[in-house]
Structure 1
Amino acid sequence: MTKGNQAESMLIWDARFPLIRLEGSGCSSFLHGQTSARVDGRAIGDLIQACWLNATGRVQALLEIRLDSAGADVLLLNGDIDSVAQGFDRVIFPADQVRLGEQRQQRRMQRLQAEMMPDLQQVIWLDDNADPPTSWQDPAPCNSSELECWRNRQGWPLGDKELTGDTNPFELGLMHWIELNKGCYLGQETVAKLASRGGVKQELRCWRSTADDGTALTSGDQLSLNDSRAGIITSASRDDVTGGSFGLAFVRRQALDAETLLAGASGVEVSISRPSCFWEPPTRD
């Protein structure tokens, strides 16, 4: 285990996120039809991860949903709360038995464990006046740099260059956020075609610079293979131990089998690997 991973094994992510309140007995069925997750039949209090897609299957927001006896709370891990609220409001009908409620900020804490898939058992929501449980009070919350390093090592696509509104769940490695065996939902037709036929044009990958000369790569740097465009870096962090850099990148389909690519104007060699925590992409032809 590296020095960086030892530190990350003790990180706690403590932040506030926008939340939409839905009221009414039909919230479960409504969210089942508007998000990528199986919501019908889930227990009250369960945290449910879901994508909110557009009609062509592009990810517009990443959500956590929690049902209760009076309705549901929808927390946005990434996305624009007004767009989601307006999208919900446009498709709510009286027969749905759903009312759009207040928007607020919700405090959320998550343990960040190195080399492990993010676990919803390690997530809690806190009321404004509540103190965290004793077991959550040590260590101190991570800072933004530590969080960015963690997500870049784990392959969690939370950055604005990954979630652009033009990427689909399979490109992002969010297969487990999609329920393929349920009825119609927003974006379902495109998602079903991608799942059955494969053929995504790019996939998210972790990259790491093999140079130790201090060369830093940044978001927006191009990747190449045999003098052809192979992708683009979307997130970058500095490795204080080796002096190199690492992060996330979209790699084009034709370059996915390459173990190394060249990056940036100076052609820095980078190793490419599949994010171990998330990837279960559709089969490629």
Structure 2
Amino acid sequence: MQDIKKKFWLETFDCFSITGKDARKFLNGLTTSNIIDSENKVIKTCWLTPNGVLRALIEIIFLERNFEIIILAGNTNEIINYFNQIIFPVDNVFLSEPFLINRIQEIDESCSWRTYQPIFFKTDDKEFEIYKNKLNLLNPNDLKLLKINQAIPSLGMEINGKNNPLELGLKDLIDFNKGCYLGQETMSKIKNVSSLKQEIRTWKSLESNLNLDVEDKNLYINSAKDISVGKITSFFKSDSQIKGLAMIKRKYLEERNYFFSEIFGKIIINKSVGSIFL
């Protein structure tokens, strides 16, 4: 019988398949993880711009005859269009049309979401409804809080055309030894000189009277707004609390664990259990 104390994250994501004898090599050149040598059945990885900015957070399922690409955060059509554009006529690589896939994994608030292996179901799998009904699933609000507590980036928020995966605490998804891939040169430069300018942090507001009409997303060293130390990227307001994510300049992180927002007042910042930095 299922242990009711365990909690599970269920969500439906966009997915597409890649087939062909060159598929593994093709994916290895486009993503940050070592696809060639991996023996894992599921691998988490990033898709970057040539300048090393995060464009998508991806999971790749290794199947017997193909790879399935799950878009955890990113623009599916952008990814498929780009992949199709760079397939050479001599490449034996074929992309399917996108489809939906149901992803289930156990979660533990004390460790990274990357610790547990996910399980996948197609929408027409008969076992899916039976399986999920046995689980203690997070409700939508708790899932939003999980993603904040784990600092899982979202498209248009943390994935905004500016932030790189090392700043977003995704260092463990980067293989610095595998050779060339899209964005590899920038990742190597940052690692070699330890030049992160900012890092992602979770935050929690301590205020009860909030000014949600204000559009100033900057974080400041104090209420006088003397120095800007970073910027809020996302937030979630529940009945009991307001939490969010922010990119904070690295040089201010050692000074204190609280800052000031014109919208959210005094906020406490913490490092996510899901974040790994240089």
| Shorter-chain TM-score above 0.5 | yes
Q: Distance in 1 between matches of 2:263 and 2:209?
A: 15
Q: Once the two structures are superposed, what CA deviation does each residue of 1:67-95 show, in whole Å capped at 9, x if it has no partner?
A: 22322111101111111111111221244
2:194 to 170, 192, 198: 198
Conservation of the 8 A alpha-carbon contact between 1:11 and 1:141: yes
1:54 to 49, 52, 56: 49
Counterpart of 1:230 in structure 2 is: 229
Structure 1 residue 169 displacement after superposition: 0.5
Q: Distance in 1 between matches of 2:14 and 2:64?
A: 21
Aligned ranges 1:205-220 → 2 under 5 Å = 205-211=201-207, 213=208, 215=210
1:249 equivalent in alignment to 2:246: yes
3-state SS of 2:166 partner: helix
3-state SS of 2:113 partner: coil
What is the TM-score of this pair, normalised by structure 1? Answer: 0.85
Structure 1 residue 239 displacement after superposition: 5.7
Conservation of the 8 A alpha-carbon contact between 1:219 and 1:233: no
Aligned AA (1:270): I
Moved more, 81-90 or 202-211: 202-211
Conservation of the 8 A alpha-carbon contact between 1:64 and 1:75: yes
1:37 to 33, 46, 51: 33
More helix by share: 1
Counterpart of 1:260 in structure 2 is: 258
Q: Distance in 2 between matches of 1:41 and 1:250?
A: 33
2:109 to 102, 111, 114: 114
Counterpart of 2:172 in structure 1 is: 176
What is the TM-score of this pair, normalised by structure 2? Answer: 0.87
Aligned AA (1:14): L
Say if 1:128 and 1:237 are closer, same or farther in 2 by CA, change over 3 A. Answer: closer
Conservation of the 8 A alpha-carbon contact between 2:22 and 2:91: yes
Conservation of the 8 A alpha-carbon contact between 2:18 and 2:94: yes
> Among the aligned pairs, what percent are the same residue?
28
1:273 equivalent in alignment to 2:273: no
Counterpart of 1:86 in structure 2 is: 81
3-state SS of 1:73 partner: strand
Structure 1 residue 138 displacement after superposition: 3.2
Q: Distance in 2 between matches of 1:216 and 1:24?
A: 54
- CA RMSD in angstroms, aligned pairs only: 2.5
Q: Once the two structures are superposed, what CA deviation does each residue of 1:235-268 show, in whole Å capped at 9, x if it has no partner?
A: 2233645xx42221111233222221111257x2
3-state SS of 1:261 partner: strand
Gaps of 5+ in 2: none
Conservation of the 8 A alpha-carbon contact between 2:141 and 2:238: no
Q: Once the two structures are superposed, what CA deviation does each residue of 1:194-245 show, in whole Å capped at 9, x if it has no partner?
A: 111122222101112234x35477996321015111111222233645xx42
Structure 1 residue 136 displacement after superposition: 4.5
Say if 1:201 and 1:119 are closer, same or farther in 2 by CA, change over 3 A. Answer: closer
Say if 1:248 and 1:91 are closer, same or farther in 2 by CA, change over 3 A. Answer: same
Moved more, 74-83 or 92-101: 92-101
Q: Distance in 2 between matches of 1:124 and 1:219?
A: 40
Counterpart of 2:133 in structure 1 is: 137
Structure 1 residue 12 displacement after superposition: 2.4
Aligned AA (2:251): Q
User: How many equivalent pairs are there?
Assistant: 269
Say if 1:274 and 1:198 are closer, same or farther in 2 by CA, change over 3 A. Answer: same
